[in-house]
């Protein structure tokens, strides 16, 4: 059994780090999320071939993707999760565009034993899934409609892609799967959108649907999303 004081100490360190990060200028925080998201994609793609076949197949066909590089949950038996990330969609030519910024929170990530952290990605396989996130983020409950594949154990689950609007992938110790995301929701972070594009009019729609803004510092992430 884990020592309770050790768990509390780890939580304090994590919350302190989060507080420091939250005090950084918005453009720096946004770029850090973009860089972390790129690293997450590269880590997923660098795993053994048999463990990434499902992921690569889904990414190749996806209309959009949400990447949460460090989704955190804490406490025992209590939903205390949260984390920031990015969403990227394809343009009319099928090319990956530039990121908008989101946060996941609310609901419950299921039974929790201590503190856990994991990279989580949601591949949006249809245009309707993309628009659901953009138009109704607060109502975009994650759970029943999401099919999950695990990469945390070094191999993918037996999940298939057939008919799923959303396919989730996780990596890290303490994998969150299935109903673990029930009741969680996402919300946009306009302060990060505005800061990253130096444009007070940047919105999820202008970034993800109309593709009206760009930041070359996100080109590395865009390249990482391409499946050869």
Containing 57, the helix (H) or strand (E) segment is helix 49-61
- Contact between residue 100 and residue 190 where contact means Cβ atoms under 8 Å apart: no
The encoded tokens of residue 48 equal 């053994």
C-alpha distance across the termini of the chain, in Å: 45
State pLDDT tens for residues 78-132.
445 578 999 999 999 999 999 999 998 765 544 343 445 578 888 899 998 899 8
- Interatomic CA distance for residues 183 and 107, integer angstroms: 4
Listed by start position, the domains of the chain span: 25-224
Residue 10: the pLDDT is: 38
State pLDDT tens for residues 35-64.
999 999 998 887 766 667 778 888 999 999
- Contact between residue 72 and residue 116 where contact means Cβ atoms under 8 Å apart: yes
The CA–CA distances, whole Å, from 183 to 14, 40, 130, 139, 209 equal 24, 24, 18, 9, 26
Residue 76 has pLDDT above 50, yes or no: no
- Contact between residue 215 and residue 197 where contact means Cβ atoms under 8 Å apart: yes
Whole-model pTM?
Answer: 0.77
State pLDDT tens for residues 183-201.
667 899 999 999 999 999 9
């Amino acid at each position: 059994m884990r020592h309770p004081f050790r768990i509390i100490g780890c939580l304090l360190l994590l919350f302190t780090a989060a507080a420091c990060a939250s005090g950084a200028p918005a453009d720096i925080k946004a770029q850090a999320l973009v860089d972390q998201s790129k690293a997450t994609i590269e880590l997923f793609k660098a795993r053994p071939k048999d463990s990434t076949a499902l992921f690569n197949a889904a990414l190749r066909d996806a209309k959009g993707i949400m990447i949460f590089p460090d989704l955190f949950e804490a406490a025992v038996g209590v939903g205390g999760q949260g984390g920031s990330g990015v969403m990227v969609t394809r343009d009319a030519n099928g090319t990956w565009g530039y990121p908008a910024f989101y946060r996941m929170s609310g609901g419950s990530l299921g039974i929790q034993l201590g503190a856990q952290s994991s990279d989580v990605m949601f591949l949006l396989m249809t245009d309707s899934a993309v628009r659901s996130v953009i138009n109704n983020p607060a109502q975009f409950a994650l759970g029943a409609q999401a099919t999950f594949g695990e990469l945390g154990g070094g191999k993918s689950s037996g999940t298939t892609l057939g008919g799923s609007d959303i396919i989730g992938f996780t990596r890290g110790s303490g994998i969150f799967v299935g109903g673990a995301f029930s009741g969680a929701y996402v919300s946009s972070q306009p302060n990060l959108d505005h800061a990253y594009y130096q444009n007070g009019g940047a919105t999820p729609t202008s970034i993800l649907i109309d593709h009206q803004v760009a930041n070359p510092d996100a080109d590395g992430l865009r390249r990482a999303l391409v499946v050869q």
